[in-house]
Structure 1
């Protein structure tokens, strides 16, 4: 009988880690995902084959696997305390993820909602910060990120970074937001120039530039409400 190949001798595209790196986690079976965690099998079988055998004894149910004890798993050749604990820890994480409520994606479809969302972030700042809010078609927040800190102008804000992040997040709408520590809400010439630059970049990528909101303590200025975007 020919000698059984270990995982390192498999074709690269079949190795669990390489397969996940190129195709994504969803392309792997449960046995392959667990094999990545335990790292190795035994002298007689690979980590993938070991996990296939364990899962088969659990009727291929992760729920059943999660109910096993450390002692139960240690009955398999190639599984010691460390691997058993790793397997059960993975099952516990899966259970906890199911129990979590989905992360809230606030509706930021109006300047007032944008202000209420960002004011707590900016209210105590003594320097200007420039943020972008990346939204889906329903104005729900996908991601927010700080782009610049300090003097905010069209030359200090990396517009290419903004557009790249929007594309990576599949955002269809974008909101710009920055604070005026001085308390004045009137936009400066630099604010206007920056708004136009971002708006033009968004048009090129077919991203809707929804608003640019300037935030102070208790007040805001909205380019959208003023008909300027």
Structure 2
């Protein structure tokens, strides 16, 4: 007699409950996140179905796909039943979903609000483990003429080459710029260095009639705007 703690294999489930069959015959919206992940996993382990294993993996990521999407292959392999091939399959599927979501947002060509900056630069900054500082160069219609990475590895006043920023602005015939960098720690609170850099570039831009419109800090799926918070 099968012990109560044993899990019934998915192959013994009714067709309407099997993740693949539900997806195929009822459509993608009929299956849960755990069932979608189970389809990628394929098979579970002894006493645990692929769905149960998927639920356990999701629980470790607070049931958030965004958080799971940041998990490394090595992290996924820590779960019993997930080998290298399954871990790569999961990571690749989540990466496809992320790129699909970013494609449309990354096509922003005009900055009308802080969210436009976030949509444009999030694909470049949100998942980095180090800080990067970027500049958007705009024309008088706030259309993006150019975007350029200024520095990597940390933001301090000494790392900001004001002359280079303004030189590139003049070369691009820009009349305004937007500053942006990421916080890998996840915090959105601007540091003293963030504020000093912003002030330094505002002063330099004023002398050349180049307006600093905003400074947007990106942390994963959130952002902080200096302009929205009256800090610029």
State the TM-score, normalized to the length of structure 2.
0.53
Q: Structure 1 regions of 5+ residues with no counterpart? A: 1-103
Distance in 1 of aligned mates of 2:175 and 2:132: 23
Equivalences, count: 126
* Consecutive unaligned residues in structure 2, runs of 5 or more: 1-106
1:189 maps to 2:180: no
The residue that corresponds to 1:153 in the other structure is 156
Question: Which portions of structure 1, spanning 4 or more consecutive aligned residues, are displaced by more than 3 angstroms?
Answer: none
What does residue 198 of structure 1 align with? Answer: 201
Larger Rg: 1
Q: Does 1:224 find its partner at 2:231? A: no
Change (3 A) 1:161 1:199: same
Confirm or deny: 8 A CA contact 2:108 2:120 kept in the other structure: no
Equivalent positions of 1:1-229 (< 5 A) are 106-229=109-232
What's the CA shift for 1:205? Answer: 0.5
Give 1:93's aligned residue: none
Q: In 1, are the aligned partners of 2:205 and 2:212 still within 8 Å (CA)?
A: yes
Give the Cα separation in 2 of the matches to 1:184 and 1:123: 12
Per-residue Cα deviation, 1:34-64 (whole angstroms, up to 9, x for no partner): xxxxxxxxxxxxxxxxxxxxxxxxxxxxxxx
Computed over aligned residues only, the root mean square deviation of the Cα atoms, in angstroms, reads 1.0
- Compute the displacement of 1:208 (Å): 1.2
Where 2:158 maps in the other structure, the secondary structure is: coil
Q: CA deviation at 1:109?
A: 2.0
What secondary structure, in the 3-state scheme, does the structure 1 residue paired with 2:157 have? coil
Is the partner of 2:159 in helix, strand or coil?
coil
Contact 2:137–2:144 (CA under 8 A) maintained in structure 1: yes
The answer as to whether partners of 1:176 and 1:211 remain within 8 angstroms in 2 is: yes
TM-score, normalized by length of structure 1? 0.54
